[in-house]
Structure 1
Amino acid sequence: MVHHSIEQQVLEKYPGLFTEQEINSIENLRGIRGEFDTNLHQKVIKGEWRDFYQTHPAATRQQVIDKATEIDQKYGHLFDSPIGD
């Protein structure tokens, strides 16, 4: 499963902070093993982003980047090797 470190929803939630090209760039993609997809990707990580959106209705670009970095640091050990490695 491919996970966007900075979610695609950011394009709608915070228009103009990121481009579609940035969100879909190889640097923003992570691999999540199939056995972790349902819980890690669909529940835990999505839940973290939902909480972020609620607490940061007018987030800055840097706040979004910091949240993505935080998620990578918390759960990155469960990701596959970065795409392109």
Structure 2
Amino acid sequence: MKGLTARQQQVLLLAADGNTNVQIAARLQISSHTVAEVLTAAYRTLGARDRANAVALAIWRGDISLGELAGIARTAA
């Protein structure tokens, strides 16, 4: 089973934090079109239908950890 790339993991974690494609793009200094393409590739790899499903599947598969998500929550608080 193919895993997510480091960039796909990074973008998916930022999406899990509630960021829009435009916000993710600004943070990573890439275009929002690139963010959309990275997310689409991640969805395809995971077999996901949307952001929430992609995050859940990435956790289940071990591509992202609950610790990484908790780290996002700590920085947001």
Q: Do Structure 1 and Structure 2 share a fold, with TM-score over 0.5? A: no
Output the TM-score relative to the length of structure 2.
0.33
Return the structure number with greater helix share. Answer: 2
- Structure number with greater CO (CA < 8 Å, separation at least 6) is 1
Output the TM-score relative to the length of structure 1.
0.31
Return the structure number with greater strand share. Answer: 1
* Higher gyration radius (CA): 1
